[in-house]
Chains A and B, each alone.
Chain A
Amino acid sequence: MQAVAGALGVAALRPIAMARGETKPVAVMRLGYVELADDPRYADRGEIDGIVFSDRGRPYEGGQVALQEARAIGRVLKIDFEMERAAGRSVDDLVQRVDAWIGSGNVHFVLADLPGSVLLELARRLKGEPVLLLNVSAPDDSLRGADCLPNMAHTYPSNAMLSDALVQYLVAKRWTQILVLQGPAPEDAAAVASLRHSVKKFGAKIVDVKPFVLSRDPRNRTESNVILMTQGDYDVVYVADASDEFGRYVPYQTALPRPVVGSAGLTPTAWSWSWARDAAVQLQHRYEKLAPGRRMNGAGWAAWAAVKAVTQSVIRAKSTDFDPVKAYLLSDKLTLDTVKGNPGSFRPWDHQLRTPLLLATGNAVIATAPLPQFLHQTNVLDTLGIDAPETACHF
């Protein structure tokens, strides 16, 4: 029996300070976390009723939970895991901050809670620097496609993954005739574009796309009255509503008795508080301890997964250096516990994390995707999102 505490792996870790006592860390692994100070995605809305319903809390605490998990093992392996948080008002701010981290603080893995366009600009300006940005909240397909960059990886699911998960479920239920209600936001257009792709992929049909506006003006009723908008023949209503102001009034108001999916009703998501299998309850409890009064959402899960991917790679690669840790993280050796059954790893063709997704209502997980009916030649998780042969990403 080896008599040295934490003998495994420590020899290979870069010693930053000599251990003087049992509690002294011998290595420090510091992560970064950037966000936008005035991120419009987190602005209070309530434009219609003045009430904010959805959990728009930032995902930071999710990362903190994974950091806490890593600290338990850091104590025995003599690695001190830390995470620095910075809010910027502009891309310039963020570039400056990340540059400083790289330069002095030895921070190379940076979680990014940013709108897609801001993240893309940041990644472009950090090109060639020893940094990996981990996207925890932007679903844009383009970031995993034509705009992809080798210094970006994504733990938040893409729009393509989310709509694939939903359409798999609809096809499994044979609810294949879809009426789409589309909001005015660019995010809504992006979600509908992904839906079109998914529908083609799995064999469903969009029977009509009707734009809606937030309005009580009777002259706008063809674009604001759910009953008028849901005339016709269809199996299911899909709502694309990034504002969350319209969608929540669609269920039970449709002209026909049909289910509602998308932004309201049955929603594809990376996480739901009501998921109770695969040690989810324990994770949920750890989150609620750190974020009292809140429940973890999809972005919170993505931040948890991003930190977890880094800390797991540190442990497995037996290093705190950027290159070996990044190489392990992006390799097929990563077996990330997604807490949703299948283990996760990053797709080499676009750096998107493979993960099961949940199809959840406000208080229940109805199904997990991929649905068992959908198979894949190598990994069933690759039935969700853009697969290697069709990728537009070329690093």
Chain B
Amino acid sequence: MSLTTKLAVLALSAMALLPMAAHAKGTGYVFVSHERTNNIAVIDPKQDYKIIKWIDTSHRPRDMNFRNDRHQLLVACGDDDVIDVIDVATLKVVDHIPTGHSPEMFELSRDQSKLYVSNEESSSVQEIGIKDKIIEREFPTGAEPEGIAITPDGKTLYVTSEVDDMVHVIDLKAGAVIDNIVVGTRPRRFLLMPNGKDLWVSNELSGQVLVIDRATDKVTATINFLPPGFRQVDVTPVGMTMTKDGATAIVTLGRANHVAFVDTATRKIEDYVVVGNRPWGVALSPDEKTLYVTNGLSDDVSVIDMASHRPIRTIPVGRVPHTVLVDD
């Protein structure tokens, strides 16, 4: 064990949630959570996409986010009602933050002191103070809340309710739901456009991405998907990400087994790329040269070259891969 690692372990046991001196900056690792094998695969693209580590987590790990300048990886574990805290340097679970029933997706506040967690089975979003692990506020939502987005100014929180086909608008200062926007069927995830004006929401069952104008809370545009050879009912968009310049969005199409590349300015679909079975999770490498897609029903991750839009690799992972996240 190197001195650095020893120091890290000591620091962890003492104060797991505080920033640490030792860290693994720039690992380039790809993290994949698995709902059914209760672990996270750590893939190193530099070692020919080898899985260099399996991190055992609490049960049913799903959404993941980095914290503390990527020193920590947080993962929501739906069946144990906790968010596990993973130390990125040692790739070990070092702490747990209790949540409500069945946490699915979450976001951090701008200052990273709070978590906003959608609890799939208790119809609420909780605001959790990370330091004291205290549920500070709870906002009622429709059934099966899922996607969460926080505006860059930190003032507004958006939450989808999968069952009730709504986007709730929560004013974080007032601590209240201030608007409810009826969207498509089974709304899942968000993408906040860099212009600050548009909020995209994927609607799994009606097969669309809707564009919400944040100024008026009105749906102003609809993006429909139909990869060649598929029927509308098979198009079930869920996950979304975009390039840093906001020019291109990538949407996973679920049962249609494709991802779509969308020009965000014209909202036209530029390309469809075939991936594995039921893609949901999607993430870009920091250099934006590579796209990673989790295929929930074929237990693998598709690696796509962004320049050519060609799939270059399929990595077998654990059972029911959910979220993919790339360290830089």
Contact = CB atoms under 8 A, between A and B. Distances in A.
B205 A335 contact: yes
A343 B180 contact: no
Q: How many B residues are at the interface, by size bracket?
A: 35 or more
A335 B184 contact: yes
Nearest to B278: A277
Given A1-B215, A312-B165, A342 B178 contact: no
Interface in A1-30: 1-9
Contacts of A316: 182
B185 A73 contact: no
Nearest to A9: B182
A369 B140 CA distance: 36
B256 to A, nearest CB: 12
B140 A8 contact: no
B142 interface: yes
Interface string A310-350: 00100110000000000000000001110001110000000
A380 interface: yes
B180 A77 contact: yes
A379 interface: yes
Interface string B114-143: 000000110100000000000000001111
Contact of B185 (A72, A282, A335): A335
B180 A76 contact: yes
A69 interface: yes
B18 interface: no
A172 interface: no
A261 to B, nearest CB: 26
Contacts of B176: 5
Given A72-B140, A335-B205, A337-B186, A8 B217 contact: yes
Contacts of B120: 282
A180 to B, nearest CB: 33
A75 interface: yes
B233 A2 contact: no
B179 interface: yes
A4 B179 CA distance: 7
B166 A76 contact: yes
B206 interface: yes
A285 interface: yes
Nearest to A289: B121
A282 B121 contact: yes
Given A1-B178, A343-B206, A72 B121 contact: no
A76 B168 CA distance: 9
Specify the main secondary structure of chain A where it touches its partner: helix
Contact of B161 (A2, A73, A343): A73
Contacts of B30: none
Contacts of A9: 182
Contacts of A86: none
Interface string A334-370: 0111000111000000000000000000000000000
A70 B165 CA distance: 10
Interface in B258-303: none
Given A1-B215, A337-B186, A343 B205 contact: yes
A8 B165 contact: no
A75 B140 contact: yes
Given A282-B121, A282-B144, A337 B163 contact: yes
Interface residues of A, number: 33
B181 A72 contact: no
Contacts of B164: 69-70, 72-73, 315
Nearest to B163: A69
A279 interface: yes
B178 A279 contact: no
Interface in B161-203: 161-166, 168-169, 171, 176-182, 184-186
A380 B233 contact: yes
Contacts of A335: 184-185, 205-206
Nearest to B124: A72
B123 A6 contact: no
Given A8-B217, A72-B141, A335-B205, A279 B162 contact: yes
A68 B165 CA distance: 15
Given A72-B142, A343-B185, A5 B233 contact: no
A85 B92 CA distance: 54
B255 interface: yes
Contacts of A336: 185
B46 interface: no
Nearest to A66: B163
Contact of B179 (A8, A75, A343): A8
A69 B144 CA distance: 9
Contact of A76 (B177, B215, B217, B231): B177
Contact of A73 (B142, B156, B233): B142
B227 to A, nearest CB: 16
Contacts of A73: 142-143, 161, 164-166, 180
A353 to B, nearest CB: 15
Q: Which of B141, B143, B177 has the most CB of A within 10 A?
A: B143
B165 A315 contact: yes
B11 to A, nearest CB: 39
Contacts of B184: 335
Q: Which of B102, B169, B176, B231 has the most CB of A within 10 A?
A: B231
Given A315-B182, A316-B182, A337 B205 contact: yes
Nearest to B146: A279
Given A2-B217, A5-B177, 18 more contacts: A1-B156, A1-B214, A5-B179, A5-B180, A7-B217, A8-B217, A72-B141, A72-B142, A72-B161, A73-B164, A73-B165, A76-B166, A76-B177, A76-B180, A282-B102, A312-B165, A335-B184, A337-B163
* Closest 5 pairs (CB-CB, A-B): A73-B164, A335-B185, A72-B142, A69-B143, A76-B180
24 contacts: A1-B169, A1-B171, A1-B178, A1-B217, A4-B179, A6-B179, A8-B179, A8-B217, A9-B182, A69-B163, A70-B164, A73-B161, A76-B177, A279-B186, A282-B120, A312-B165, A337-B163, A337-B205, A342-B233, A343-B185, A343-B205, A343-B206, A343-B233, A379-B233
